[in-house]
Amino acid sequence: MLNSSVARLSALLAARKISSVELTSAFLERIRSLNPVLNAFISVDEEASLGQARAADAVIASGEAQPLTGIPIAQKDIFCTRGRLTTCGSRMLSNFVSPYDAHVIERFDAAGAVNIGKTNMDEFAMGSSNETSYFGPVKNPWDVAAVPGGSSGGSACSVAARMAPAATGTDTGGSIRQPAALCGISGLKPTYGMVSRYGMIAFASSLDQGGPMAKTAEDLALMLNVMAGFDARDSTSLQREPEDYARDLEKPLAGLRIGLPKEYFVKEVDRDVARAVEAALGEYRRLGATAVEVSLPATRLSVPVYYVLAPAEASSNLSRFDGVRYGYRAPAYADLDDMYRKTRAQGFGAEVQRRILIGTYVLSQGYYDAYYLQAQRLRRLIAQDFVEAFRQCDLIMGPTSPTVAFDLGERSSDPVQMYLSDAYTIAANLAGLPAMSIPVGFGQGSRPVGLHIIGNYFAEARMLNAAHRYQQATDWHLRVPQACPDGAPGTRE
Amino acid sequence: MRAVQWEIVVGLEVHVQLSTCSKIFSGASTAFGAAPNTAACAVDLALPGVLPVLNRGAVERAIRLGLAVGGRIRSPSVFARKNYFYPDLPKGYQISQYELPIVEGGSVAIRSGEVDRVIRLVRAHLEEDAGKSLHEDFHGMTGIDLNRAGTPLLEVVSEPDMRSSAEAVSYARTLHALVRWIGICDGNMQEGSFRCDANVSVRPAGSDRLGTRCEIKNLNSFRFLEKAIDYEAGRQMEVLEDGGKILQQTRLYDPDRNETRAMRSKEDAQDYRYFPDPDLLPLEIGEDWIAQVRRDLPELPQQMRQRLERDHGLSAYDAAALTADREMAQYYEAVVARLPDDPKLCANWVMGEVSAHLNGVGKSFDGCPLSPAQLARLLGRIRDDTLSGRMAKDVFGRMWAQAGDDPVAWKDRKEQAGEDLADRIIESQGLRQVSDEGELEGWIDAVIAANARSVEEFRAGKEKAFNALVGQVMKVARGKANPARVNELLKKKLTG
Amino acid sequence: MPLSLDDVKRVADLARIEVGEEQAHAVLAQLAGVFDLIQEMQAVEAAAVEPLSHAQDVMLRLRPDAVTEADQRQLFQSVAPSVEAGLYLVPRVIE
């Protein structure tokens, strides 16, 4: 049961082979046994989850079930959840019980899904290893000495370790795709504007996008069907006809043109990662796809551009955390300014402070043009490269991350090394394009490798189709981490 | 006298609170006077994860002003974040417009004393208001009320085109009348709906270079605006005459001491780090929307003033006074529509008797208990000689007393209701004036007989004596005699 | 333009984050590395390129002017550090 896909569980629930209460109990028990080691969840409210499960069973009994009714979903702790702790991985919000629900949470509630718990994350989604969480690092279920990636590391870990069949994540520069790759699961960042940001605590507003994380592409499609949709409360939410993202899953891939950016296969990619990606591309050729070389020359600027724009927006977005209306307030201070300074110095961790300082600097008088404006100009060049490339191909593929999961502590003292982990994923955020990662093998230390797939705007169904067909032909997505073998603990009966 | 002839240079930044029912970026109410923080929703409080969505009503009001001042409506315009920390600013930034405001250019024509001047506008931009800090003592703490946070403001920035505090006040008054006229602001200055910041500098007369300016913040009455500018200009002249230099700074006006002082907060040293708000996209305003707003725009006071002078034959003074207030102008137009032959009579009564009575009870013209139709009927009775002017005032007083009991303002009543009120009062009180020659002659003969001395004096050339005799006739007639006819008949009898 | 200790202090002041003297040196060292990375941008001539704020070429959607929010003060203030008489309390503000 714990190893089953969402699609399979949905069928079992519909056929009354299992109940949501049974399913939810099994995952809760799994969390109880593994979370002390893996630290994937910040908060779990068993009673609330079981309450939702009972309600879901009633809905199923009444014949009104939707595909996700009764399915436990792990929610990244960046999504405001009414009446529940919503910390964003920060001391600043360590006591924050949200008075309202994020749009994404409302959608899952309306779909009858069960919120199985709030997952750990890099503080305010700033990090690529999950080591910046106030609640301690998440461990990689494939090797507890390794990081799970970030910032949606808790979500990735929870799915990989079978503590949840699927999870939500958010992706500002790779925060869904990189941890998905490092934990051997599938994750999708949709086109900017498809998933409402209302109630999703902002990191960098023009780049943030929520998306699904699951074992299979098919599950991602089912999740996206719930998450995507217009929301009048988000001015950047796009008004589009609803679509079924699972509609094209089975389409044959014959004729699919895969663009391979020559810039992606450079020396920075580790050999083991390159090998696994090459093998996956070979599989795609067998499935009927053809490869074309494309060029994304401006992509090499992604990291510097991102580390100007994202901190700039973040420095402003995080100004609201001032200890006045909610959240942490320093216990002792001399005056108002001192309260601000101490509250923010104590409430934010080192990485968040670092990014606020970078962002403040690049926006400050005398530096705005050279940094912020220049970065926005280069952002356009980066986006234009993709427009050009998509004239020649349908999807762009490459490695999600230049390396497999690195060891805990290995990069935490060197921000630049850490920032380079996202070298391949950032460009899609800057351009607002949909992008995903699927598991395609293992590299050094038997740690997973992810294949990065970038699509044109609104090409999610096509991307999911390509990922699904690959998963039909391979079994990387079915591998279970040794640290948590086969899911037996949850099925004692 | 001063050794140097100084010229005062003033530019104003006026914060016009737009009269929308909800806030600029949230669905919370803008109603004034709610209990603290009960009109501050999740967006106004800047809870984590909330996002702004722009209010169409605020944009439309900005367009209305832009068209009324002959400015350009920029499309697209862009919202930017102005970053600074203050407890009444929940997000840590104010959403405003910086490089690309919604309105550019335009001008306001003013009349200061006997001089007509045109004050050019730089721009007008949309922004959100902040909350309020209450400094009453909460154990040495300050209380923050965020009800006002997110209230829509249109900041109207003028060029430094004013040369005296009187011109500045005249400009502020004209703009104040205009924003109420076009229905974008209630103009309530006590409630902060119309707040001025004045940029003041001085320079030797004849110089074409601007001096260093100081900004005086938050002047919420015309009187304070005038006094603050006068004080500040005088201060600057003294500093300069003593060989000092003016520091560019933000100052506050203290009405109790009638002086300005530099603000203690380090606002001048601030670096606001403006950048385009990534939560909001560029605001595009289509030509069709602009055309629609233009069609819905009322005749502007300036145009109406000219029309009243030209078509109604009113004096410049009367036309200006009537168009200072749109409700009064509308009321006047409704009266004159029923009495097209005598605009001057209508204007006199609207600006005189009606206005005075409304002032007495603190009501505006829209809240007037007497309808224009009722007034027009009364004025018609002057025109047809039923009433003398004095009797009409008497009847008006009785009409007011009766209608005053009706709590429903004329605007909210059926137009024709009680239109004959004046006639009913005239009938029931027997107030019809007497124009019948026989009756009048009876009174006149009696007065001539009883006032031989006055008659002699008049015949000896004393004009005053004539007036005394008329007064006597009116007295005998208990005010009901038609004064014009009395004049005529009396003169005939005395000289004939 | 290499980052200086004064820059770090100025920026920390603007951002209202207390950074002690010793800490400032450590922060400077880390930020210096990040700014070396960022400097790569400066080599590209892009003055003629229009800055891009949003990936989607979409214009702002407007809301009708209607009150949709009810009073939730009690709920909202249940998570506040310090309130009295419906007001949020902060150390005394001096103008």
CB A336 to CB C92 under 8 A? yes
Q: For A418, phi and psi rounded to 5 degrees?
A: -65, -45
Integer Cα distance of B283 and B289 in angstroms? 13
CB B42 to CB C76 under 8 A? yes
Distances (CA, A) of B59 to A157, B62, B267, C61, C62: 47, 5, 29, 12, 9
Q: For A125, phi and psi rounded to 5 degrees?
A: 65, 20
Is B477 touching A (CB cutoff 8 A)? Answer: no
- How does pLDDT run across A405-463, given as a tens digit for each residue? 999 999 988 888 888 888 899 999 999 999 999 999 999 999 999 999 999 999 999 99
Contacts of C6 in chain B (CB under 8 A): none
Contacts of C53 in chain B (CB under 8 A): 276, 278
CB A313 within 8 A of CB A359: yes
Instruction: Count residue pairs from A and B with Cβ separation < 8 A.
Output: 97
In a domain? residue A229: yes
Integer Cα distance of C15 and B273 in angstroms? 11
Pull the structure tokens for residue A196: 């409402």
* For C80, nearest residue in chain A (alpha carbons): A326
In degrees to the nearest 10, what's the CA dihedral of A356, A358, A360, A362?
-150
Distance, in angstroms, between A382 CA and closest chain B CA? Answer: 18
Mapped onto helix, strand or coil, the DSSP state of residue A465 is helix
In a domain? residue A112: yes
Indicate the burial class of B478 (C-beta count within 10 angstroms; 0-12, 13-18, 19 or more): exposed
Give me the pLDDT at residue A488, please: 41
When pLDDT is cut at 50, 70 and 90, the band that residue B135 belongs to is confident
When pLDDT is cut at 50, 70 and 90, the band that residue B477 belongs to is confident
Instruction: DSSP letter for A139, please.
Output: P
Instruction: Count residue pairs from B and C with Cβ separation < 8 A.
Output: 125
The strand pair at A41-43 and B93-97 is best described as unpaired
| pTM of the full structure | 0.91
In a domain? residue A395: no
* Nearest-CB residue to C87 (from B37, B263, B280): B37
Integer Cα distance of C2 and A124 in angstroms? 28
The arithmetic mean of pLDDT across residues B147-163, rounded, is: 98
Reference A419, options A270, A320, A311; nearest CA is A311
* Nearest-CB residue to B282 (from C60, C84, C85): C60
Contacts of B41 in chain C (CB under 8 A): 69, 72
Report the share of chain A in percent with pLDDT over 70.
97
CB A323 to CB C88 under 8 A? no
- How does pLDDT run across A320-366, given as a tens digit for each residue? 999 999 999 999 999 999 999 999 999 999 999 999 999 999 999 99
Mutation site for A-interface testing, chosen from B50, B265, B272, B283 by largest number of A Cβ within 10 Å: B50
When pLDDT is cut at 50, 70 and 90, the band that residue B269 belongs to is low
CB B172 within 8 A of CB B189: no
Per-residue buried b or exposed e for A330-346, using 16+ beta carbons within 10 Å of the residue's own CB? beebeebeebbbbbbbb
Residue B267 has pLDDT above 80, yes or no: no
CATH code of A174's domain = 3.90.1300.10
State chain A's mean pLDDT as an integer: 95
Q: Is the peptide bond before B76 cis (omega within 30 degrees of 0)?
A: yes
Fold (CATH) for B437-495: Arc Repressor Mutant, subunit A (1.10.10)
Indicate the burial class of A255 (C-beta count within 10 angstroms; 0-12, 13-18, 19 or more): exposed
Integer Cα distance of B142 and C83 in angstroms? 10
The arithmetic mean of pLDDT across residues A136-140, rounded, is: 97
Is A419 touching C (CB cutoff 8 A)? Answer: yes
CB B73 within 8 A of CB B63: yes
In a domain? residue A45: yes
CB B388 within 8 A of CB B482: yes
Integer Cα distance of A129 and A22 in angstroms? 33
Neighbours of B288 (CB within 10 A): 8
* Nearest-CB residue to A201 (from B49, B144, B271): B49
Residue B114 has pLDDT above 90, yes or no: no
In a domain? residue A242: yes
Provide the ipTM. 0.97
The arithmetic mean of pLDDT across residues A476-489, rounded, is: 70
Q: Which residue has the higher pLDDT, B266 or C20?
A: C20
CB C46 to CB A377 under 8 A? yes
Contacts of C44 in chain A (CB under 8 A): 301, 374, 378, 381
In a domain? residue A405: no
- Distant-in-sequence, close-in-space partners of A288: CB < 8 Å, separation ≥ 6: A252, A253, A254, A255, A256
Which subunits count as partners of chain B given 3+ CB pairs below 8 Å? A, C
Indicate the residue type of A235. S
Mapped onto helix, strand or coil, the DSSP state of residue A14 is helix
Which subunits count as partners of chain C given 3+ CB pairs below 8 Å? A, B
Distance, in angstroms, between C23 CA and closest chain B CA? Answer: 23
Distances (CA, A) of B139 to A283, B136, B443, C74: 72, 9, 81, 22
* Nearest-CB residue to C34 (from A238, A375, A416): A416
Instruction: DSSP letter for A373, please.
Output: I
Give me the pLDDT at residue B417, please: 58
Q: For A206, phi and psi rounded to 5 degrees?
A: -80, -5
CB B145 to CB C86 under 8 A? yes
Integer Cα distance of A155 and A148 in angstroms? 9
Give me the pLDDT at residue A146, please: 97
Integer Cα distance of A130 and A178 in angstroms? 11
Contacts of B55 in chain C (CB under 8 A): 62-63, 65
Q: For C6, phi and psi rounded to 5 degrees?
A: -65, -40
Contacts of C41 in chain A (CB under 8 A): 301, 304-305, 308, 371, 374-375, 378
Is B47 touching A (CB cutoff 8 A)? Answer: yes
* Chain C, window 35-64: residues with a beta carbon less than 8 angstroms from a chain A beta carbon: 35-42, 44, 46-47, 49-56, 58, 60-61, 63
The arithmetic mean of pLDDT across residues B352-361, rounded, is: 92
CB C46 within 8 A of CB A383: no
Indicate the residue type of B112. S
CB B252 within 8 A of CB B261: yes
What are the residue numbers of the active site of A? 76, 151, 175
When pLDDT is cut at 50, 70 and 90, the band that residue B268 belongs to is very low
Contacts of C53 in chain A (CB under 8 A): 206, 376
Residue B415 has pLDDT above 60, yes or no: no
What secondary structure, in 3-state letters, does chain B show? CCCCCEEEEEEEEEEEECCCCECCCCCCECCCCCCCCCCCCCCCCCCCCCCCCCEHHHHHHHHHHHHHCCCEECCCECEEEEECCCCCCCCCEEEEECCCCCEECCEEEEEECCEEEEEEEEEEEEEECCCEEEEEEECCEEEEECCCCCCEEEEEEECCCECCHHHHHHHHHHHHHHHHHCCCCCCCCCCCCEEEEEEEEEEECCCCCCCCCEEEEEECCHHHHHHHHHHHHHHHHHHHHCCCCCCCCEEEEECCCCEEEECCCCHHHCCCCCEECCCCCCECCCHHHHHHHHHHCCCCHHHHHHHHHHHCCCCHHHHHHHCCCHHHHHHHHHHHHHCCCCHHHHHHHHHHHHHHHHHHHCCCHHHCCCCHHHHHHHHHHHHCCCCCHHHHHHHHHHHHHHHCCCCCCHHHCCCCCCCCHHHHHHHHHCCCCECCHHHHHHHHHHHHHHCHHHHHHHHCCCHHHHHHHHHHHHHHCCCCECHHHHHHHHHHHHHC
Give me the pLDDT at residue A485, please: 46
Indicate the residue type of C49. V
- How does pLDDT run across A287-305, given as a tens digit for each residue? 999 999 999 999 999 999 9
When pLDDT is cut at 50, 70 and 90, the band that residue A493 belongs to is very low
Integer Cα distance of B475 and B8 in angstroms? 58
The arithmetic mean of pLDDT across residues B180-209, rounded, is: 95
The arithmetic mean of pLDDT across residues B40-52, rounded, is: 98
Is B337 touching A (CB cutoff 8 A)? Answer: no
pLDDT along chain C (95 residues), means of 10: 89 96 93 92 93 89 97 97 96 79
* Nearest-CB residue to B36 (from C56, C58, C86): C86
The arithmetic mean of pLDDT across residues B242-250, rounded, is: 92
Neighbours of C43 (CB within 10 A): 8
Integer Cα distance of B209 and B201 in angstroms? 11
CB C65 to CB B263 under 8 A? no
Is B423 touching A (CB cutoff 8 A)? Answer: no
- Our CA angle for B433, B434, B440, nearest 5°, is 145
Is B177 touching A (CB cutoff 8 A)? Answer: no
Neighbours of A391 (CB within 10 A): 10
Residue A367 has pLDDT above 70, yes or no: yes
Q: What is chain C's alpha carbon radius of gyration, rounded to the nearest angstrom?
A: 22
Which subunits count as partners of chain A given 3+ CB pairs below 8 Å? B, C
* Nearest-CB residue to B273 (from A199, A202, A363): A363
* Nearest-CB residue to C88 (from B27, B144, B273): B144
Is A236 touching B (CB cutoff 8 A)? Answer: yes
Mutation site for B-interface testing, chosen from C10, C87, C92 by largest number of B Cβ within 10 Å: C87
Residue B334 has pLDDT above 50, yes or no: yes
Contacts of C92 in chain B (CB under 8 A): 135, 140-142
Distance, in angstroms, between B121 CA and closest chain A CA? Answer: 27
- Our CA angle for C79, B152, B63, nearest 5°, is 155
CB B87 to CB A197 under 8 A? no
Q: Which domain holds residue A171?
A: 6-255+463-490
Mutation site for B-interface testing, chosen from C9, C54, C65, C73 by largest number of B Cβ within 10 Å: C65
Contacts of A337 in chain B (CB under 8 A): 85
Domain layout of chain B by residue ranges: 6-288, 299-429, 437-495
In a domain? residue A24: yes
* For C11, nearest residue in chain B (alpha carbons): B271
Tally the domains of chain A. Answer: 1
Is A326 touching C (CB cutoff 8 A)? Answer: yes
- The structure tokens 């020359």 sit at A297
Indicate the burial class of C6 (C-beta count within 10 angstroms; 0-12, 13-18, 19 or more): exposed
Contacts of B281 in chain A (CB under 8 A): 235-236
The arithmetic mean of pLDDT across residues A163-192, rounded, is: 98
Mutation site for A-interface testing, chosen from C9, C13, C16 by largest number of A Cβ within 10 Å: C16
Mapped onto helix, strand or coil, the DSSP state of residue A145 is coil
Contacts of C89 in chain B (CB under 8 A): 138, 141-144
- The structure tokens 């400032």 sit at C24
Residue B265 has pLDDT above 60, yes or no: no
CB B55 to CB C63 under 8 A? yes
Reference B153, options B203, B116, B195; nearest CA is B195
